[in-house]
Structure 1
Amino acid sequence: MRMEVFLDGRGWLKLDKLIDVFFSNCENCEEIPMFGLLPLLKYLTLDGLNNLQSIGPSFYGGQETRVMFPALERLILSNMPNLTAWAEAEVMPVVETRKCREQVFPRLEDLKIKNCPKLITSPSHFPCLKKLEIDTIESDFPLTKILSSSSPTSLEVLSISRISSLTSLLPHLQGYQKYLRELTIEDCEKLRELPDDLHSFQSLIILRIFECPSLQSISYQSGQKGPPSLRTLEISSCSELSYLPSEMIESIRCLEDLSVTRCNKLVSISIDLGELPCISRLEISYCFELRNLPKGIGRHSKLTKLTIGGFSKSIDFNSFQTVLDDIGQSKSLRNLSLNGWKHCDSLPYQFQHLTSLESLTLFDFGMEALPEWFGGLSSLSSLSLCACYKLRHMPSKEAMQRLKKLQYLIVTCCPLLREMCREENSPDSEWSKISHIRHIGGVGPGF
């Protein structure tokens, strides 16, 4: 408890030079040492203390310590299934001009709490916290307490995962609109609403929302804009999400990365990419009720990566054809991943004009052969074919030889093509068409 160890024959050795402590898997430990006494400690991890039920005041070093954890920059609490309480420090009276909370964690910038499901209390003294991650706890009270104690001007990154009681972010983020730069929300099954003032998050650059099945829409009022600095917006596996405000998304002029995946009730993403001059990556996939798609793909000069497909079978035909035409006209695309349907017996002919394409992934198409014009994709260096169960034939050997830059061929779940490539010397073998490619996976004589 004095942060000293006894060395036989040499007396007591102070541990006051320690900078990094990893205190792990001491399953019978019931009380945490007085780490707050270590004047140089920068990094502290408490992990796998299964028997620990509380982190008491002694953790901070006792009242005689004027500044507790004076150098600590990063603190991690993880995998403590019985931890229920994390107590406040017992702070000594100080001069009136000095705030009490500045005596505790005066330099702590990074706090992570993971897999402490029973934790229901936490301290309220984090004056300069920049990054907060909370993952797998039942109560949202620690989140409330920590955010209420931190300075809104300091917190830049907030990650919230698997907080089972969390229903709304509205009360938690009050005051953080001006400086928060990155917000990630994941697997919060009861979360119903996001802040309705997203437009006021002036510094927000990254917004990620994953696996929030109770979230039905993003709150939005007509004429309201999105976060003005947002560059990355990712939404995935929100099974009840049925509405995305296109007007709000189009207002984010610096948006570079937009990804919407596995949102099974989403019907429309009718944004015009012409309103997003900086967009370079777009992914819209596995939204099986989606009937309306973005427009303006072909007119966009900065779009380099596109993943698209897995829509409703009743998708608007004209909308889909427009997208295919737009893709075929693109001069900037370098990476394309397309999810088709099993009844698609041919590749969209529009793709033969994608001479700048470097990487192509085709998933779930029903064609038996790749077209001869495939050999005109002169910049192609990587080709992946996945779940094309009817595919038997590659283009002709002459067409494949024209793909001078093709270095990688990956074939997955294409059983007929694999069979056709297995017999190296068979007159019907497809192997001779592709054997010159340097890196091949999934097909060939060895498979």
Structure 2
Amino acid sequence: MRAGLLQKSNILELKLSWRVGNREGENNDESVLGGLQPHPNLKTLQISGFKGKSFPSWFSKMSGLNNLTEIRIERCKECEQVPTLGHLPHLKNLYLVRLENVKSIGSSFYGSRSSNTRIAVFPALERLELLNMSKLTDWLEAELMPNIELMPNIATENRRVSQELVVAAFPCLEYLKIKDCRQLTSAPSHFPCLKELHIFQVDSGLPLASICGIKLNSLERLTIDGVEGLKCLPDWLFRNNQNLSKLKICDCPNLVHLVPCLEGGRTALRELWVSYCSKLRELPDDLHALSALEILSISSCPNLKSIPYPHETHNDDDGEQLLSGLSCLRRLSITYCRGLTDFAIENMIESCAPSLEKLELFELTSLKMNTGMLVGSLQEMPRLSRWKIGDVEMKMTSKQWTVYGLTHDTYSMTVVGAIMKASSTKSLCRLELHGTKHSGGLPDQLQHHTGVFELRLWGFGEIEELPECLFGNNNTFSVLYIQSCKKLHRLASKEAMLRLTNLTHLFIDNCRLLNLNTKRGGDSEWHKISHIPRVTVDGRRIRTNARGKKS
């Protein structure tokens, strides 16, 4: 079969795709692909669903296709070898996906491109992804030239030149991703420019150890997910890679500790994420020295016992003592670590309060926290936009604060009181309070706030009557929402509602026991709100008796 692609010089991108599914009895894929050799001008090539056991000669060696910049080979389930690609001078992106019968990537993959005494392998490659290769066990180094001592017939002068030959493998590779190659046990160790490494679902820890070997010194981002054999990171990881800014580790069940020391990463590491590492027991002692750290997130590590954080100070230029620590931290999230007992959270909060934007501390059942101090520290967090401690969660912007999970216990009320105090000097326009199905009351502190323009009450499941204190003389809000308070059947008194002289908009939704029949009599609460200019119930606006006010 010949399609004449070799003569079509204007084709720069080519995708050859075979139908997925059972094609028994009609597999002539090898001869079909053999007749589809493209013109050398081709820049992008994608092969998908090819079911031949071997590639035709033009494809296996990429004969004459030196202008290729991107290759994607996927779902070629019968192929046992990948093509020779290392000699392509302009190849920048390579994706090998679901080559489920390939067991080894070795010398045939690399080829060579020689210049004097230097052999460049994949000389321009910047991005490489190996995905869903279920039988792949070995990814070998690029081989050196044959040993000259085993070649006695080569002239002495040529021997001296040959002995100086070196292999430059992946000299430009910056991004490497390996995913769902569970049987992989080896990988190359020479990646002189690698900046991003992402390894997912690889059972053995050896490929990671090889790639992150002593030679690697350019890494900036590292993601490790589902590597069962990983027990700890290489000791030299931070010391050698002093530009490493993001480290994310997830679902490594045998990880016991990260590294003994974070030296080298103290001024570069900005994000540290660790989750679902069931054997992790402690974090490095010098965690507090990560002066550039902006995000610290530790979740679902049930055996984590200790997060070291000493109370240390240093002198500034004026001789005043300042608290050392994570002074750049924007997000702190420690959750579902039920074995955590040793963590001076108050010290950490004190050192990072001015920069903190998000704080989450919950499901820490073994940790004793000074919740009063934490709540009180709200006033020291001018940038805070989200907070969750225990069952209470808050989201804040410069104009709106939203509180979730309120009950009528002391802690919930203390949180709301701290909100009122912390926001008293701010131009807070909207306050949302979200209760639970067990919430039966509202915070008394609401009556003392004068700056709220809009108040929203959601989901207070046990509240039956709006309390009088909500409508104190100092309240100035002009918009009130009441939603999903399923047992609410009585508003505050008529007198209390009249005290809300600025209230112009009332929205009530999904409060089915509340009778707002506009006809007087019975147990209708309508007369209490009929003076409000604009009333909307379950999405429908109702005409009121208001006069002389804009609605």
TM-score by length of 1: 0.75
CA distance in 2 between partners of 1:60 and 1:69 (Å): 7
1:296 alignment partner AA? S
Corresponding residue number in structure 2 for 1:299: 380
CA distance in 2 between partners of 1:114 and 1:183 (Å): 17
CA distance in 2 between partners of 1:239 and 1:146 (Å): 29
What is the CA distance between 1:367 and its match in structure 2?
4.3
Percent same amino acid at aligned positions? 32
Corresponding residue number in structure 1 for 2:359: 282
Corresponding residue number in structure 2 for 1:115: 180
CA contact (8 A) 1:129 1:150 kept: no
CA distance in 2 between partners of 1:138 and 1:235 (Å): 22
The answer to whether the aligner puts 1:30 opposite 2:80 as a matched pair is yes
1:81 alignment partner AA? S
Query: Paired residue for 1:435, among 517, 539, 551?
Result: 539
The answer to whether the aligner puts 1:81 opposite 2:134 as a matched pair is yes
Residues 385-429 of structure 1 show CA distances to partners (whole Å, capped at 9, x for unaligned) of 8xx896657978998x959799xx9x9xxxxx57669x9999799
CA distance in 1 between partners of 2:71 and 2:439 (Å): 58
Q: How does 1:1-400 map to 2 (within 5 A)?
A: 7=4, 10=7, 13-14=39-40, 15-62=65-112, 66-92=119-145, 100=166, 103-148=168-213, 150-152=215-217, 154-171=218-235, 173=237, 175-176=239-240, 178-198=242-262, 200-201=264-265, 202-220=267-285, 225-247=288-310, 251-266=325-340, 269-271=345-347, 273-276=349-352, 277-292=354-369, 293=371, 294=374, 295-310=376-391, 323-331=415-423, 343-350=438-445, 353=449, 367=463, 373=470, 392=488
Say how many residue pairs are matched.
412
What is the CA distance between 1:194 and its match in structure 2?
2.0
TM-score by length of 2: 0.62
What is the CA distance between 1:22 and its match in structure 2?
1.7
1:330 alignment partner AA? A
CA contact (8 A) 1:309 1:339 kept: no
Alpha carbons of 1:319 and 1:256: their partners in 2 closer, same or farther (altered >3 Å)? same
CA contact (8 A) 1:272 1:296 kept: no
What is the CA distance between 1:309 and its match in structure 2?
2.7
CA contact (8 A) 1:246 1:270 kept: no
DSSP 3-state at the match of 1:327: helix
CA contact (8 A) 2:121 2:170 kept: yes
CA contact (8 A) 1:117 1:137 kept: yes
CA contact (8 A) 2:413 2:443 kept: no
What is the CA distance between 1:25 and its match in structure 2?
0.9
CA distance in 2 between partners of 1:359 and 1:69 (Å): 62
CA contact (8 A) 2:86 2:121 kept: yes
Q: How large is the RMSD of aligned CA atoms in angstroms?
A: 4.6
CA contact (8 A) 2:93 2:128 kept: yes
2:197 alignment partner AA? L
1:23 alignment partner AA? I
Q: Which blocks of at least 5 consecutive residues in structure 1 are unaligned?
A: 312-316, 412-416, 438-447
CA distance in 1 between partners of 2:85 and 2:387 (Å): 50
DSSP 3-state at the match of 2:306: coil
Larger-gyration structure (1/2): 2
CA contact (8 A) 1:273 1:297 kept: no
Q: How does 1:383-422 map to 2 (within 5 A)?
A: 392=488, 402=503, 417=510
CA contact (8 A) 1:344 1:366 kept: yes
CA distance in 1 between partners of 2:525 and 2:455 (Å): 28
Between the two structures, name the one with larger relative contact order (CA 8 Å, sep ≥ 6).
Answer: 1
What is the CA distance between 1:243 and its match in structure 2?
3.2
CA distance in 1 between partners of 2:387 and 2:422 (Å): 11
Alpha carbons of 1:218 and 1:8: their partners in 2 closer, same or farther (altered >3 Å)? closer
